[in-house]
Amino acid sequence: MYQSFDVTARPEQGPPRLAMLRVEMSQDGLDGFLIPRADAHQGEYVAPRDERLAWLTGFTGSAGFCAALKDIAGVFIDGRYRTQVKAQVASDYTPVPWPDVSLATWLEEKLPNGGVVGFDPWLHSAGQIETLEKSLAKTGISMQAHANLVDRIWADQPAPPMAPAKVHPLEFAGESHADKRARLARELRAEGHRSALITLPDSLCWLLNIRGGDIARNPIAQGFAILHDTGAVDLFMEAQKLLELADHLGPDVRVYAPGDLLDAVDALEGLVRLDKGTAPFLLSQTLGARAVFAGDSCALPKARKNAAEIEGAAAAHLRDGAAVVELLAWLDAQPVGSLHETQVVSKLESFRRNDNALQDISFETIAGTGANGAIMHYRVSEETDSPLQDGQLIVLDSGGQYLDGTTDITRTIAIGTPPLEAKQAFTRVLQGMIAMSRLRWPEGLAGRDIEAVGRMPLWLAGQDFDHGLGHGVGAYLSVHEGPQRLSRVSHVPLEAGMILSNEPGYYREGAFGIRIENLIVAQEAPDLPGGDAHRKMLHWRTLTFAPIDLRLIVVEMLSAAERDWINAYHGEVSQKIAPRLSPGAKTWLDAATAPI
């Protein structure tokens, strides 16, 4: 199984490590080197071996990169991490607001006379390097594929993960891997493509109906695959991960060592499909003119959940919801000021583990109280563990990995008596979540076309938040799954079967944070009374069932339709979750879901 390593640099460790990196840069004639938070699979989640950014700088966010030059090192972070980065990196590193400031613009300013910037061609996608080189074309700055300099200086770098893979049962997958391979092969033939490179581990695991343990909290097995237009697959994965899977994979899945990948790619004939946004730059360079950038072949089929996956997710959410309610009831019974964040995290995990179906939590639980709640992806540690005090809010974002589904839920909870301004902001966040939950929209629209619906109540008050409204979620796979998103930058049309989160928020630095999150699945919308619809519509089915804190709602701010939605939702919570609870939690739930 997955092994845990502490690879994070403390702030005081960052400067000497940066100095070692600069020695290597100088010896190799480089003026800069890029250190992304990425591995060769370009996924969001990385194994300890690939936590180069955290080891070098101390920054532990799930997105970002460092551009280390001779006299300045920029740590590029998006809006989610602009508070967090301040506490994690030494003054030798300069936080850079990204994408507000692009890497090309920053490099042009810091290297006005030009220079050579190195990058590891396994850790950057073809699209990233192409965009960067176009932006730098007239600057005199050149990009150079190079051996990874951090690996040279990281003396105790962990070994690659080697967790055994396992079969994902057909009852949960809903389709055999032979049928999946045949279906995708037909699409390749229809497009005139001879093969497709599969570089994302979650795509590979979905395609072959396997799961693994190479990444913490994500049941994936790392590897690469080539899907041929015959339906056969060449799988590049360490054989020791697959010792028990020969019968499951069958003769049409041929296993090779990962080190054989480049030679196999070089030998491919005809057009080869791959994803410009995630396939390593080195693979696209190896293919040359044979490369067809047409997206990951598995991404959309994986995103369109079948009936077994949807009903599995629904069942998982009921069990998960019961664990969350047990936690909320327990939390409400504790004296104000008697708990710390870590105690809440531990207790919630213990309630989840009472369900034998739980395989793991789906990400590190976020439990941020007071000012910590304003750090969007806050992770409590011994140094930051804070007491839950009167008048504060706690943002509790958590989830579970079950064989039948992956969950992700956020509730914001009042501790004692919260201030009115926090209640007003909470109510606006709730109004945005309700608006998205109630939405019907014409088929063909993307996340960017509708996500403003969930922001409008905040916008009307001059407020907003710096993360997307929602992300895709896998089926016993990654809790963050593309390509579907509720985001102003997402152009992928939403389709029936796609599971996403619905999670507006509001964050006041130094004071409090708010987020409310349910998972929802897109479905074909039934006809309205009167039957006058002139185009096909979609709507959402809610999968998550746990109460919303009534103490934080300013009821007078709600419309009648919003009150009706809350009451109806809480009625479903009571009906679906109460039979699964202990007597004390059931009594608590009766009060928590009382009509307003």
Q: Tell me the pLDDT tens digit for each residue of 486-545.
A: 999 999 999 999 999 999 999 999 999 999 999 999 999 998 887 666 789 999 999 999
Are 31 and 70 in contact by the 8 Å Cβ rule? The answer is yes
pLDDT category at 5 given cuts 50, 70, 90 is low
Are 399 and 479 in contact by the 8 Å Cβ rule? The answer is yes
441, amino acid identity: W
Q: What is the mean pLDDT of residues 71-76?
A: 94
- Best CA proximity match to 439, nearest among 425, 460, 456: 456
Q: How do 481-486 and 291-293 pair as beta strands?
A: unpaired
In the predicted structure, residue 106 carries a pLDDT above the cut 50: yes
Tokens of 550: 């009534």
185, amino acid identity: A
In the predicted structure, residue 42 carries a pLDDT above the cut 60: yes
pLDDT category at 1 given cuts 50, 70, 90 is very low
In the predicted structure, residue 343 carries a pLDDT above the cut 50: yes
In the predicted structure, residue 341 carries a pLDDT above the cut 90: yes
Instruction: Give the pLDDT of residue 50.
Output: 95
- Put residue 250 in one of left, alpha, beta given phi > 0 → left and psi -120 to 50 → alpha: left
Residue scoring higher pLDDT (87 or 315):
315
pLDDT category at 43 given cuts 50, 70, 90 is confident
Q: What is the mean pLDDT of residues 546-564?
A: 98
How far apart, in whole angstroms, are the C-alpha atoms of residue 161 and residue 214?
5
In the predicted structure, residue 384 carries a pLDDT above the cut 60: yes
In the predicted structure, residue 141 carries a pLDDT above the cut 70: yes
Q: In this structure, which topology does domain 304-584 adopt according to CATH?
A: Creatine Amidinohydrolase (3.90.230)
SS (H, E, C) 115-140: EEEEECCCCCEHHHHHHHHHHCCCCC
Instruction: Give the pLDDT of residue 6.
Output: 62
382 exposed, middle or buried (CB, 10 Å; 0-12, 13-18, 19+)? exposed
- Best CA proximity match to 566, nearest among 552, 587, 578: 552
How far apart, in whole angstroms, are the C-alpha atoms of residue 81 and residue 60?
9
Domain boundaries, the chain: 11-153, 166-299, 304-584
Dihedral sign for Cα 297, 298, 303, 306, please. positive
Element housing 458 (H / E): helix 456-459
How far apart, in whole angstroms, are the C-alpha atoms of residue 125 and residue 26?
25
Q: Which residue has tokens 């069932």?
A: 545
Q: Mean pLDDT score of the chain, rounded to an integer? A: 95
pLDDT category at 99 given cuts 50, 70, 90 is confident
Q: Does 166-299 match 304-584 in CATH topology?
A: no
Provide the CA 276 distance to its chain's centre, in angstroms: 19
How far apart, in whole angstroms, are the C-alpha atoms of residue 153 and residue 47?
18
Instruction: Give the pLDDT of residue 322.
Output: 98
Q: Does domain 166-299 have CATH number 3.40.350.10?
A: yes
How far apart, in whole angstroms, are the C-alpha atoms of residue 573 and residue 563?
15
Q: What is the mean pLDDT of residues 165-182?
A: 98
Report domain 11-153's class: alpha beta
pLDDT category at 301 given cuts 50, 70, 90 is very high
In the predicted structure, residue 433 carries a pLDDT above the cut 90: yes
